[in-house]
Amino acid sequence: MKFCSNCGAPVSRQIPPGDTVLRHVCGACGTIHYQNPKMVVGCIPESEDHILLCRRAIEPRYGLWTVPAGFMENGETTAHGAARETLEEANARVEVGALFTLYNIPHINQVYMLFRARLLDMDFGAGAESLEVRLFSEAEIPWNEIAFAAVRKTLEHYYSDRARGTFQFHLGTIEPAARAVST
Amino acid sequence: MKFCSNCGAPVSRQIPPGDTVLRHVCGACGTIHYQNPKMVVGCIPESEDHILLCRRAIEPRYGLWTVPAGFMENGETTAHGAARETLEEANARVEVGALFTLYNIPHINQVYMLFRARLLDMDFGAGAESLEVRLFSEAEIPWNEIAFAAVRKTLEHYYSDRARGTFQFHLGTIEPAARAVST
């Protein structure tokens, strides 16, 4: 952010009176521009013992697999957002169920919320942001080609809970990946 | 939003190619300015059979009671945000526990996430945004002076779950309040 979205004048970074955090503050009209984390909402679409995954046609993580998920929009609920993303990315209709995982990703200012969901019909296919969409059994999950840590951990909990016979809500935090050390 | 925060030129509202939602788009540099819901994070600080509430010293809902809660900041987790808000509004230190309620409030583009928490000491007091901070037993809760619907519903679930002997996670949606009809 370089300019004030209210008046167009340049902004500078300063700590406003009574605050403790550096904000973008307009030098002309005084508007304080707060920036807050974003929610990524999505679901695990289930059909009997299979789940639906999408192979990404966009960066980041082009070509890798994920559950349908994306940024929550103004005016919707978390569950509506999860259903909308599933329709957009997989042309799939779902009935959204319980919230299954919540992952904080503080280093990129995101919170993931992934629901369980029931796939309502088999008439799905790749949306504009997907190369390919298909159903996977547990044995077929491409564990080494999962796009995001929050999705991988969610799928691990999913199959672990399923094996136990009880699904419960899981909350966690994703830390930055350790850098690979070349020796 | 009237001006582009990237280049300072005027923005207009249009649906970008491949999108379905009106966005603020810069006429000069082409930046699309997405706007997303914000998270409000907080907790129910517990001390034996009492909980801590704050009486608001700021608008909206000046003078009414709430649990400590506020907008989640970049770089923190939901639980860290809940603890930070509790320190700011009530000068109180808490150990944050399980996520207890999540409320979608789509008409104001907010998602509330309220945790259970253990008050770590009795050395609390009103922060800059509170008129007063005190512990309440269930019988003392000022039900007609609770600032926000999401907080009132959270407290209702809290005492209902406590009476049952088991706390569970609750997820819901707050609709706009019905207008009072004068007859």
DSSP letter assigned to residue A58: S
Instruction: State the DSSP H helix or E strand holding residue B110, giving kind and residue range, or none if neither.
Output: strand B110-119
pLDDT, tens digit (0-9, with 9 covering 90-100), for A112-129: 999 999 999 999 999 999
A25 DSSP β-pair partners: A12, A32
- Distance (Å) of CA B170 to CA A69, A164, B141: 22, 23, 20
Q: Is the pLDDT of residue A55 over 80?
A: yes
Q: What pLDDT is stored for residue A177 in this prediction?
A: 77
DSSP B82-94: HHHHHHHHH---E
Residues 6+ apart with CB under 8 A from A58: A129
Percent of chain A with pLDDT strictly greater than 90? 93
Q: What pLDDT is stored for residue B179 in this prediction?
A: 56
Interface of A with B in 146-175 (CB under 8 A): 169, 171, 173
Contact list in B for residue A109 (CB cut-off 8 A) is: 74-75
Q: Is the pLDDT of residue A46 over 50?
A: yes
Which is higher by pLDDT, A18 or A158? A158
Q: How far apart are the first and last CA of chain A?
A: 39
Q: What pLDDT is stored for residue A181 in this prediction?
A: 56
Interface probe for A, chosen from B73, B84, B113 (most Cβ of A below 10 Å), is B73
Contact list in B for residue A80 (CB cut-off 8 A) is: 106
pLDDT, tens digit (0-9, with 9 covering 90-100), for A143-171: 999 999 999 999 999 999 999 999 999 99
Q: What pLDDT is stored for residue B180 in this prediction?
A: 53
Q: A11 vs B18: CB contact, 8 Å cut-off?
A: no
- What residues in chain B have per-residue pLDDT under 50? 182-183
Q: What pLDDT is stored for residue A20 in this prediction?
A: 87
Report yes or no for ipTM above 0.85: yes
Asked if residue A82 lies in contact with residue A39, where contact means CB atoms within 8 angstroms, the answer is no
Q: What whole-number distance in Å separates Cα of residue B114 and Cα of residue B46?
A: 13
Q: What pLDDT is stored for residue B23 in this prediction?
A: 96
Residue B8 region by backbone torsions, left for phi larger than 0, else alpha for psi between -120 and 50, else beta: left
Q: What whole-number distance in Å separates Cα of residue B169 and Cα of residue B179?
A: 30
Q: What pLDDT is stored for residue B18 in this prediction?
A: 85
DSSP A111-147: EEEEEEEEE--S-----TTEEEEEEE-GGG--GGGBS
* HSE-up (13 A, CA, CB side) for residue A138: 11
Q: Of B34, B106, B169, which has the smallest distance from its Cβ to A169's Cβ?
A: B169
Q: Is the pLDDT of residue A41 over 60?
A: yes
